Amino acid sequence: VIDYIPNLIKIDTTYKELRISDLMDMQSGIQFKDHDLPWGDKPKAYYKPKLRERILELPLEHKPGLKFKYNSYNPILMGMIIEKVTNLPPATYFEKKIWNNLGMEYSGSWSMDSQNSGMTKMESGLNIRAIDFAKFGRLLLYEGHWNGNQLISKDWMNYSFAISKDYKLPEFAHDLYYRNFWWIYANKKESEYEITSIAGTGHLGQYLFVFPKENIVIVRMGKHDKNVDSWRTVFYEIVNHLNNNRTY
């Protein structure tokens, strides 16, 4: 990471051990106080008008790569790396490489930290309709392939979802893993893992669930969970119902 953001080394020399994969697997070790109070890091990541400056203030809690901790600063730092490599805001790069190729049905937007700073809010800011979110799910189903074009390399897709015991999150659920910014549900069968679903989850009840075996994508939008204990359980019931009533 310091190859792209060298000033991190001024905060803590241990930053030299931080890899991009640590950011994407939520194992960065970057300090993050995970609560909604004004002095917590959730509101700071959401409301700070100069996110680049905020990232360059953050100490490490522990060495990178040791343990999982969901951290909103990780995707923001990833966005800074994308800026450095592409010379473009992440939202613009995404628009050119992915958005324009998916035939989106509605306009979308990606929030910034502020007009003056112009940093894409990587942790929370993508604003699009459900039908267009579903197209991302289809892109995953077809391993990065879309209407004759390989938008994301198949090697990268295979790498992203190649899970092992190192990505298991037993404190959440017995079959839950986290890899490359995705929640992955999988069953271990002997020496292999069978993925049952891949998920992206929003803060207030937004869900994108992809079921590779069943070839199904489910999107749920909302401002809260509406007293549902587990939307995942609801989605699995929907998938089972669809499977049992297929006529082809």
Domain 1-128 has CATH 1.20.58.710: yes
Each residue's pLDDT, cut to its tens digit, for the chain (248 residues) gives 999 999 999 999 999 999 999 999 999 999 999 877 777 898 899 999 999 999 999 999 999 999 999 999 999 999 999 999 999 999 999 999 999 999 999 999 999 999 999 999 999 989 999 999 999 999 999 999 999 999 999 999 999 998 888 888 867 777 899 999 999 999 887 778 899 999 999 888 899 999 999 999 999 998 888 888 889 999 999 999 998 887 66
What are the start-end ranges of the H helices in 59-107? 73-86, 90-97
What class does CATH assign to 129-248?
alpha beta
% residues pLDDT > 90 (the chain): 78
Which pLDDT value is given to residue 229?
87
pLDDT of 67-107, one tens digit each?
A: 999 999 999 999 999 999 999 999 999 999 999 999 999 99
Where are the chain's structural domains?
A: 1-128, 129-248
Cβ-based neighbours of 61, under 8 Å, separated by 6 or more: 29, 30, 31, 32, 69
Q: How far apart are CA 117 and CA 112, in angstroms?
A: 8
Give pTM, 2 decimals. 0.92
Q: At what angle do helices 90-97 and 73-86 cross, to 10 degrees?
A: 70
Angle at 21 between CA 148 and CA 217, to 5 degrees: 40
